[in-house]
Chains A and B, each alone.
Chain A
Amino acid sequence: MEERPKALLLKFPGTNCDSETARALEAAGFVAEVLPISRANETVLEAAHLVVFSGGFSYGDYVMAGRLAQLEAERKLGDSLMRFRDNGGYLLGICNGFQILTKLGFLPRGSLINNTSGRFICRWAGLKREVSGNPFLKGLPESFELPVAHAEGRFIAPDGDAQDYLGRGLVALTYTSDINGSSSAIAGLADETGRVLGLMPHPERFLWASNHYDPDWRGDGSEWGWGYMMFKSIHDTIAAEIAGHSP
């Protein structure tokens, strides 16, 4: 029997999208485990192929989104997360997870700050895939939609401008319209290796076609939504690697 890829989802106090994200991972073929950070240590990543930071409000996001989770992750995991990435592991951060991965320094430098409106925003957003071949995105069309829900989704680079990241292929996803003031309309970033992806939109909320707001949305004609395709893409990538490594 073939080995199913393992996804480990790290849950902080206030993380709240863990159930549906684990559900989406399982639907795509992963064995998904949700691990509260209180039980994490430097060895917990060893069996995983994919480490996921899901959406929510870690520690309430009271100081700034993701900061206290970053400090706690550094305390609990030490440099095992970096070793995990360097050894070929994949990292996915969704919404608050994107904010945490950015604070942890796994993604191009910058910060996710308050939306220009100063408000939380829950809506669907048109997205453009800016890269080809990214293992998380290769099963997706160039344009698609996902729901967003965040107060701090405006990406800014150190000099304020993230144009440079576009040129370097680090911008994985952009919004098709300005929804939060994000520099270069950035919705998702990848690292140089492509094995780390952070995005503000919520793929786990568009698992099924029936999640779409428009009853006439048909997508690719299947029962699945675009979010499923994202989890499926990374699953298939990892499954192929596992199969390739098997004797």
Chain B
Amino acid sequence: MTVMSPDQPAENFRRIEIRDLEPEGLGKLSEDMKLSLSIEDMIEIQLYYASEMRREPTDVELECIAQTWSEHCKHRIFGARIEHCGPDGEEVINGLFKTYIKEVTERIMETKPGFVLGCFVDNAGFIKLDDNQAVCLKVETHNHPSAIEPYAGANTGLGGVIRDILGAGKGAKPIASCDIFCFGPPDIDSGDIQADDVIHPLGIMRGVVRGVRDYGNRMGIPTISGAVQFDPSYIYNPLVFCGTAGVIPIDDIDKQMRGGLKIIAVGGRTGRDGLKGATFSSMALDTDSHEADQQAVQIGNPIEEKKAADFVLDARRGGLVVFITDCGAGGFSSAAGEMLSEVGGNLYLDRAPLKEPGMTSWEIFLSESQERMVLAVEESALPELRELAETYETELTDIGESDHSGILKVWHDGELVCELDNSRLHDAPVRQMSSEFVLESGSPGEGLDCADLVGELGALLSDFAVCSREPIIREYDHEVQGNTVLKPLAGASGDAPQDASVVRIDGSDQLMAMGLALLPEWGKSDPRAMGRATVDECMRSLVVAGANPDRIALLDNFCVGNPDNSRELGMLVETCKGIAEAAEAYGAPFVSGKDSFYNYFETEQGAVSIPTTCLISGMGIVEEQSHVTGASIRKPGSLLAVVGCSGPDMGGSVYARIKGVFGGQVPHLEPVAAMNSYRGVHQAISRGLILAAHDISEGGLAVAAAEMGFSLQAGLEIDLDALPAKGSPEVVARLFGEAPSRILIELDEASLSQLEELFNKTDFAVIGSTSSDHSRLRFTERGESVLDAELVALKEQWKNGLKHYY
């Protein structure tokens, strides 16, 4: 008698009878198998098996199709046909991605030949750094796992995006990371959280930061830029974006699969952990998610990834890589799909090293276990690759080969468990959706009068939206690799805020700046303005750090609540319109992006959605070391000037929010004029005319000036009457308004005449000076002091805002 081990499944796979099922039966099957496929999708699959394959599918095939068609992998909402009704009237949008991202980028690429070296196809978008090297950037979200286990969720989020870079081209070298979080306020009372098992925002924040820290620091990749937004709407659905930039020789960007190659897996082993991650992230959260779907939360092993990274980079340098991709969502199924979908080939699941015995075929094929890379290599390169794997102590396994059949065949213990004609597999039905958006006109600046401007400035500086991120930044190794020349905290005191970070790149005289922006508060009333202003702020942060505004590429990352709600979808449509308009005006192509839907939570009081959140991150080329420009005052006796116009609109501002005034008109943006200013600023930087430059954003001019002064090298005196403005803004709007496209500049008086020539007179003015006789920040109006504060005291408030919580 043979005794079967309890771990040993009776069979590796099974056939599922679907050809004779009615639509309800198909829907129930999708639900029972947790496929997250609609009835329309299932009918499509049924048709394929009934008419093309003339057999029943295996469970492996169904899981594989479900995975490939999931929102997470296929971005079906961004591909959907949307009937939209908004301020532009009624229209049909044939794909948000195609209309507002891809086509915009294609038009820009025509005007800038040779700049974008790859976009939308590979793991990351590439732009040219110099004649030999390219830089690339990818940003991903890991929201749902981070809500359930913040440390592990953020940890694997960063680990995943690093693998995207390792799998970009033939293996890019990760050189810098960024992280952007949206959390509930860390001081919220636990009693105000209206659901069981939701982790307190403070717990989310601490866990997420430590998760990023422990992965990034161990990988030896500097985490150089980031942002944190706090808003009660993120309590139930915190957002965690992780991004990584890489560098690669231009000749190693292009990779082509072909028949006759060996497929090898490198790195971690495959286990039951991380099953169903992709479909899980395409569903909404509820209290049950916190109990039932805990399998979805994995813990990252950064040393495993570091060993794999060392291997991959050496293999690429040695010319041993033909094709490479990471094992992300969908595991082997998506990696094999990417590699073998056109040429075809065989994959042998029994060869994959497993963490545990007894895994069935679909579990091995779909598992999203971390730290795995898949490569296609020449058979003749295998001995050298095996030696390299031994050197770096990482596991290498030959798991299959490519052929010329055009069909993906997956074997398990000698049985064919999956046979898919991939040209058919990727044809998911186009979704039909409808959306609407009504723009409500807001009022400018009402209810925002104020007597105690010093107090208000202090409140802004210590507000969660503005205060120093130092407690978080210091936990990240932002100096490893020894190339971080503009650090997240810098200036003469080493702790003043900067707008973007800049890294040197080995083997090049040119550098890369990394910047980002998100303005969810604007989007609550005017998502289109939010889209435009977000692109503007990202561009501006890169330009002030020294990047050439004509050599910037952008990434778009969207997080949305419930897309099946036509108003929420309408806000997304309007946001897309905004980013498209601005990007086109700035000539800044989108080279990569990602979207995350279903960021809503069913509380006891009903569904809570996040506000439509759009993160624009960017990489810009800084052409010379001398162009790197900080945002901190250098010395007394300089002039202060402003580029860009102020205005009366206070909607979306931090000041309006802390005063409890919502729904105000958000400021207007003129991207063409802004781009001219940015080119002027860049010329000035190139000619050495600018000592320091800081973008005016959250908290307005007063906050920007204070932040510049936090190097404590001089006092600042600013005459508000000199401020270029449209629509005669009140003093509060001049101080705290957040009109976009504005930059505060420190310059030598001797540079002034040269500088003035670069700008339109209505857009540029000297507004003050730096002084040595006191360490104060002083604003005057009609010769009278309206705000006079001690910089050291303001800095103390700014530095301590987050200290008590983190």
Contacts and interface: CB of A to CB of B under 8 A. Distances in A.
Interface of A: 13-14, 16-17, 19-20, 23-24, 36, 38-39, 55-57, 59-60, 119-124, 147, 149, 202, 204-205, 207, 210-211, 213-216
Identify whether the interface residues of B are mostly helix, strand, loop, or mixed.
Answer: loop
Contacts of B607: none
B389 to A, nearest CB: 10
Contact of A215 (B480, B484, B504, B634): B634
B490 A214 contact: yes
B303 A213 contact: no
B307 A16 contact: no
A200 B494 CA distance: 19
Report the 7 A-B pairs with minimum CB-CB distance, sorted nearest first: A16-B220, A20-B482, A205-B482, A213-B490, A213-B494, A149-B477, A60-B303
Interface string B604-630: 000000000000000000000100101
Contacts, number: 103
A60 B301 CA distance: 9
A37 to B, nearest CB: 8
Contacts of A202: 479, 482
Interface string B492-532: 10100000000010100000000000000000000000000
Interface stretch (B42-50, B69-77, B390-398, B450-458): B390-398
Interface stretch (B211-219, B225-233, B558-566): B211-219
Given A36-B310, A120-B217, A122-B479, 6 more contacts: A14-B218, A39-B391, A55-B480, A60-B302, A202-B479, A210-B625
Contacts of B487: 213
A19 B492 CA distance: 28
A121 B474 contact: yes
A211 B473 CA distance: 17
A20 B218 CA distance: 15
A143 B228 CA distance: 36
A14 B482 contact: no
Contacts of A205: 479-480, 482
Interface string B200-240: 00000000000001000111100000000000000000000
Contacts of A38: 390-393
Contact of A13 (B306, B390, B483): B306
Nearest to A19: B481
Contacts of B218: 14, 16, 56-57, 60
B176 to A, nearest CB: 14
B776 interface: no
B175 to A, nearest CB: 11
Interface string B439-481: 0000000000000000000000000000000000111111111
A55 B484 CA distance: 16
Interface of B: 213, 217-220, 301-303, 306-307, 310, 390-393, 473-485, 487, 489-492, 494, 504, 506, 625, 628, 630, 634-635, 692
A13 B393 contact: yes
B303 A122 contact: no
B184 to A, nearest CB: 23
Contacts of A59: 303
A147 B480 CA distance: 10
A247 B565 CA distance: 85
Nearest to A145: B494
A13 B494 contact: no
A235 B390 CA distance: 32
A210 B509 CA distance: 13
Contacts of A147: 479
B494 A122 contact: no
Residue of B307, B494, B625, B630 with most chain A CB atoms under a 10 A cut-off: B494
Contacts of A122: 473-479
14 contacts: A13-B306, A16-B218, A57-B302, A120-B476, A122-B478, A205-B480, A210-B628, A211-B485, A213-B489, A213-B490, A214-B490, A214-B492, A215-B628, A216-B492
Given A16-B219, A23-B482, A120 B477 contact: yes
B392 A13 contact: yes
Nearest to A37: B393
A20 B220 CA distance: 11
B492 A120 contact: no
A16 B491 contact: no
B494 A214 contact: yes
Contacts of B504: 210
B303 A14 contact: yes
A204 B392 CA distance: 23
B504 to A, nearest CB: 8
Given A13-B392, A39-B391, A122-B479, A23 B506 contact: yes
A13 B475 CA distance: 22
B281 to A, nearest CB: 27
Given A14-B306, A16-B306, A121 B475 contact: yes
A36 B220 contact: no
Nearest to B390: A38
Contacts of A207: 482
Contacts of A13: 303, 306-307, 392-393
B217 A57 contact: yes
A147 B487 CA distance: 12
B391 A36 contact: yes
Nearest to B220: A16
Contacts of B481: 19-20
Given A36-B392, A57-B217, A124 B302 contact: no
Contacts of A24: 482
A36 B392 CA distance: 7
Contacts of B483: 20
A46 B803 CA distance: 51
Nearest to A214: B492
A233 to B, nearest CB: 18
Given A38-B390, A205-B482, A214-B492, A56 B220 contact: yes
A60 B218 CA distance: 7
B475 A119 contact: yes
A213 B392 CA distance: 34
Given A39-B391, A123-B494, A210-B628, A149 B303 contact: no
Contacts of A211: 482, 484-485
